[in-house]
Chain A
């Protein structure tokens, strides 16, 4: 009986469930995420200082932007609000457009919220660009005695020594925070394994896709991660925390998408329950007819 349902009807139901909150522009307050709270607290504690810079690795492309993009947006927005200079870079080739667009959009958003203030490229952030080589790139960073000489130029071809956001960064100890966002298997391991030295490890926040949440929790438990954004739900709660701290903040899409996702989960749970009930009843009636 349950096998008689055309799978396209199920697709249609899921499609309707997901698109309804998006069409109605309806969102509900996201659930509290403890790991996202820890991530928020790590950035909230950061204090800008001479030479100090945060590193933000946007290791995602269009394939996981649905989750990683919102995570990166809220993190970068928070760093900008704290006036902590940061450098974006990536080990993933398809991330290149996001290295340009994500910080710029966050700056535009903040400049709209605070008309008298400015967030500028070079002063508030730099784009180091895409680096091939995976772990080879990462393990070279803690070894260098001069980050400016190590990277030399940004993605636009500017000398880093001319950009105030990065000009005084020297060693790993000048990296105030490492944020990494990816859905790629093995990418996150590069940072866990090599973005550290014998006497210093920057506070490390990771944004993962939903698939890798169970795996990422292991690193939270062992203390290798200081904060974790779990899929879109983590980003939505982070966004909520930012709105609580800055009430004039314009609403973003993270909460709306999270609402759509929640509705889809309810539909799937409903279908699983219905499917099992129908299969159970079908099994019983077949057993009855055999008897």
Chain B
């Protein structure tokens, strides 16, 4: 019963919050502002709590302090303490040097951490770039004539031709080092710009689609869950 009441309360609050945010569509108002600030506060707070609860405590402090070792009724332990976990202290202490950024005299210590983080991220990004981009580069090597058995697959062939033309014309549009005076090449650049416009149109259309999907989900929540919670609340009062 208590759990059901709590769920009903959460649903009611969720509906009120949704309506508060939607009230901005009518005009800027204090109701909207209040819930906007609540939302920002909760978003910041929940990240910290979940990080501590799901990661920092169970995976760092509990093993470090030996608090993940269970003592059984017969006096034996679920496992022995691993001294190697003490090594966690080294990166932890190194990481805390970041807070020296607030000290004018010792801010160079924070730069050590920042430098390490930048170096590590840069190295990983370098590897990641090749893992991500090389298959895409190879993916652009498409045959202009595609055969299906002994027959030409006209649709695939046309599709590949459009692909290659788009690729080359867009690349030419962004090729600023040497500009040719040729009118034909100039038209290729213009075609590249137009093809990009088509692509931006697709992005814009899909953005609208995503926003509408968010609205549908909220409407579904209001019409199904929230209206049921409001009805239940009235039943309790009456």
Contact = CB atoms under 8 A, between A and B. Distances in A.
Contacts of B54: 96, 129-130, 155
A94 B207 CA distance: 22
A222 B128 contact: no
Contact of B219 (A15, A93, A157): A15
Interface residues of B, number: 39
A210 B202 CA distance: 10
A268 B14 CA distance: 28
Contacts of A155: 54
A223 B139 CA distance: 8
Contacts of A290: none
A194 B55 contact: no
A71 B70 CA distance: 39
Contacts of A288: none
A23 B132 CA distance: 44
A67 B216 CA distance: 10
A44 interface: no
B58 A153 contact: yes
Contacts of A136: 124
B29 interface: no
Contacts of A67: 210, 213
For chain A, give the interface size range. Answer: 35 or more
Given A65-B217, A193-B132, A257-B216, A221 B139 contact: yes
Interface stretch (B43-51, B107-115, B175-183): B43-51
A224 B135 contact: yes
19 contacts: A8-B25, A8-B26, A15-B215, A18-B215, A18-B219, A19-B223, A23-B223, A64-B214, A66-B217, A66-B218, A67-B210, A93-B46, A130-B55, A135-B128, A210-B213, A218-B136, A222-B139, A253-B220, A257-B216
Given A193-B128, A231-B209, 15 more contacts: A18-B216, A22-B219, A23-B223, A66-B213, A66-B214, A93-B46, A94-B43, A131-B55, A194-B127, A211-B203, A224-B136, A232-B216, A257-B217, A260-B219, A268-B208
